[in-house]
Amino acid sequence: MKSILSALAITAAATLVLAGCSAGAPAATEIKVAYQKFGPSQQLDHHMKAVKEAYEAKHKGVTVKLVPIEAQQNDYFTKLALMNRASATAPDVMYEDTFMIKSDAEAGYLAPLDSYVAKWADWKQFPDNAKQAGAGDDGKIYGVSMGTDTRALWYNKEILAKVGLPVPWAPKTWQDVLDAAKTVKAKAPGVIPINVYSGKPQGEAAVMQGFEMLLYGTQDKLYKADTKKWTVGSKGITDSLQFVKDVYQGELGPKPEQALDTTVGNTVSNEWLPQGKLAISLDGSWVSGTWLPTGGTPWPQWKDVMGVAPMPTQNGEKPGMTSMSGGWTLAVGAKSAHKSAAWDFVALALDKDNSQKFDIMSSQIAVRKDVSNDKAYLASNPTVGFFSKLVANTHFRPATTDYPKVANEIMVAMESVMTGQQTPKQAASTYDGAVVGIVGKKNTSK
């Protein structure tokens, strides 16, 4: 009995000693930060590494574990959703596309940030539209914008001049764009006349840079926000698919096997444009970020070789041009056990200095007012002014939870047309039926 009591006493003493050693010691905390890392362009990866270093220096006892997800956009969304299903794998901070905010918030993946932004002095630097980009259907804020973008026509001035087209080039209609591509095909063998992203492997790039850049140049819209109805039976949808057919079945674009390669976006910006293999590309404001010294393919000559022109409306209708805008946010995971620490990372990553560094490095259109007015930012890239002006005539994807499903049907329709499996009318009809199946007939209209 005595030996048992002695043993218990020793155990109790040891427990007290251990307790004494841990009393007052800060608990080790680790936050996981998940983001996309895809292709040669590594600007976001550089940004996250720099913020991690600054954050850990400022927050002793907190470790940041970076979780770069090497995947094309649609695969990134899938992998991020899989991570979010379990607390053990769910990230504390995540790189979140604005068009996924509503559906991911509804799925329970994102934590509301209203209590944090209410106390954040920097929040006043974000204009209302930038704030709303991170809002859910319930009106709560779930993401803080990192920047925005617009889309237009990039063109190689040397190639266009060689084939006799005017430089600066300023097409007024869709036919002007197709005619220029036909001229390049006839007079510059070996050069791809035009690239328009299309098909399921390109995911949202096909939908935004391709289809919606066309559709919003017609008299129709994808979704009527005032009536909350999706458009079906639309001439604009058929005409947009006809343009895709003209490019691919007219042999004005990349070969279908090239266009349907998941890495074609990187090929466009890192090979075809710098190497003079592509004349015209319907693409985003961020493309030149690849060619900066911090980009994946530095190309000092791009400022002299590349030109930009607004995408015209179908027949030159007012305002004569169209664009699409999106953007990405940083969000905090709903399953995070360290939400305050995660928010501190978001606030640091998107303060004035870090936002400006990222916007310059990745050729983003700044959303923070203090960055967009900064002289260093304005002087960082000769296309900043051009792409920023397009915001006045830009459009945004429907901010609904059904949009990702509808977007998938757009990809299917584009691919069926570009590969010759369906005519534009057939593909549009198939699309209409799919949309009715997704949202219900009562939520559609012509």
Neighbours of 340 (CB within 10 A): 12
Alpha-carbon distance of 161 to 172, in angstroms, equals 18
Alpha-carbon distance of 249 to 222, in angstroms, equals 24
E strand intervals along 18-81: 29-36, 62-69
State both tokens at 385.
Answer: 């002014």
State both tokens at 135.
Answer: 């809002």
**For the chain, which domains are there?**
29-149+327-396 (3.40.190.10), 151-325+398-445 (3.40.190.10)
pLDDT of residue 5: 39
Alpha-carbon distance of 91 to 82, in angstroms, equals 11
Neighbours of 421 (CB within 10 A): 10
Alpha-carbon distance of 248 to 264, in angstroms, equals 15
pLDDT of residue 17: 38
Question: Is 348 within 8 Å of 54 (Cβ atoms)?
Answer: yes
pLDDT of residue 43: 87
User: CB burial class (10 A; 0-12, 13-18, 19+) of residue 226?
Assistant: exposed
> What SS3 class is residue 329?
strand
Neighbours of 147 (CB within 10 A): 23
User: CB burial class (10 A; 0-12, 13-18, 19+) of residue 445?
Assistant: middle
Q: Low-confidence residues of the chain, pLDDT below 50?
A: 1-26
pTM for this prediction: 0.84
State both tokens at 2.
Answer: 């005595």
pLDDT of residue 145: 96
Alpha-carbon distance of 188 to 279, in angstroms, equals 9
User: CB burial class (10 A; 0-12, 13-18, 19+) of residue 4?
Assistant: exposed
- Residue 306 φ/ψ, nearest 5 degrees: -95, 140
Assess whether the previous peptide bond of 168 is cis (omega < 30° from 0).
Answer: yes
pLDDT of residue 38: 80
User: CB burial class (10 A; 0-12, 13-18, 19+) of residue 276?
Assistant: middle
User: CB burial class (10 A; 0-12, 13-18, 19+) of residue 120?
Assistant: middle
Alpha-carbon distance of 129 to 369, in angstroms, equals 12
Assess whether the previous peptide bond of 40 is cis (omega < 30° from 0).
Answer: no
Instruction: Tell how strand 151-156 and strand 306-309 pair up.
Output: antiparallel
